[in-house]
């Protein structure tokens, strides 16, 4: 059906070239016409359980500090990373608000933050110290306002009580005292 034109090429371009039959003794050999033996189209392949990888490919835990250095040779270690400027001061500034030195913690935190930024490092403890110190300072101011208000109200209450006692003890009171323009009965003396 196909015509061969001497080069073993088909005359029709869409058909593959015809290959000569391979004798069975050449199956599996290399070469331009190497072929595998024919298999049934849906033959079931035998099941082989997966083998563990060879020992040379098994994962080994990382080995640390086992460098072999010849006797008498100095051991050379990698240099330590440069310290972050202001990090220690930032940690101290973070502790100070919790022991009652909020203003000092705020100042040290700002200084540590500026030193780190100039060197191009990020200083998280200094930033947290500035925030915590500022919050503690605001809380101390609010607490001071409440304490001063309570002391002032207590002083006014004490002075009012003293005035009531003085009015009730006077001979002209007739058992009444005047508070904010109202006459009120004096309290009975306690035994």
* 33 part of a folded domain: no
* 61 part of a folded domain: no
Backbone angles phi, psi at 47, to 5 degrees: -90, 125
Better pLDDT: 1 or 39: 39
Domain count, the chain: 1
* 156 part of a folded domain: yes
- Asked if residue 16 lies in contact with residue 10, where contact means CB atoms within 8 angstroms, the answer is yes
* 14 part of a folded domain: no
* 77 part of a folded domain: no
* 79 part of a folded domain: no
Range of the domain at 175: 87-185
- Asked if residue 132 lies in contact with residue 97, where contact means CB atoms within 8 angstroms, the answer is yes
* 82 part of a folded domain: no
3-state secondary structure at position 4: strand
Average pLDDT, the chain: 75
**pLDDT (0 to 100) of residue 8:** 56
Note the pTM of the prediction, 2 decimals.
0.47
Q: Taking the CA atoms of the chain, what radius of gyration do you get in angstroms?
A: 49
* 129 part of a folded domain: yes
- DSSP state, residue 58: S
Question: Mean pLDDT across the stretch 149-172?
Answer: 78
* CB atoms inside a 10 Å sphere around CB 89: 20
Convert the pLDDT of each residue in 44-71 to its tens digit.
666 666 666 666 555 665 555 556 667 7
């Amino acid at each position: 059906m196909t015509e061969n034109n001497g080069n073993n090429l088909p005359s029709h371009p869409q058909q593959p070239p015809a290959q000569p039959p391979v004798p069975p003794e050449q199956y599996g050999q290399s070469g331009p016409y190497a072929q595998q033996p024919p298999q049934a189209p849906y033959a079931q392949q035998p099941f082989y359980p997966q083998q563990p990888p060879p020992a040379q490919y098994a994962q080994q835990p990382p080995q640390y500090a086992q460098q072999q250095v010849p006797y008498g040779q100095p051991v050379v270690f990698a240099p330590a990373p440069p310290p972050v400027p202001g990090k220690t001061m930032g940690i101290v500034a973070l502790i100070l608000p919790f022991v009652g030195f909020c203003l000092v913690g705020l100042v040290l935190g700002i200084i540590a933050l500026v030193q780190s930024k100039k060197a191009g490092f990020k200083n998280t403890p200094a930033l947290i110290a500035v925030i915590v110190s500022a919050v503690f300072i605001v809380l101390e101011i609010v607490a001071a306002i409440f304490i001063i208000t309570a002391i002032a109200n207590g002083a006014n209450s004490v002075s009012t009580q003293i005035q009531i006692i003085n009015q009730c003890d006077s001979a002209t009171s007739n058992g009444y005292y005047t508070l904010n323009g109202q006459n009120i009965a004096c309290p009975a003396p306690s035994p």
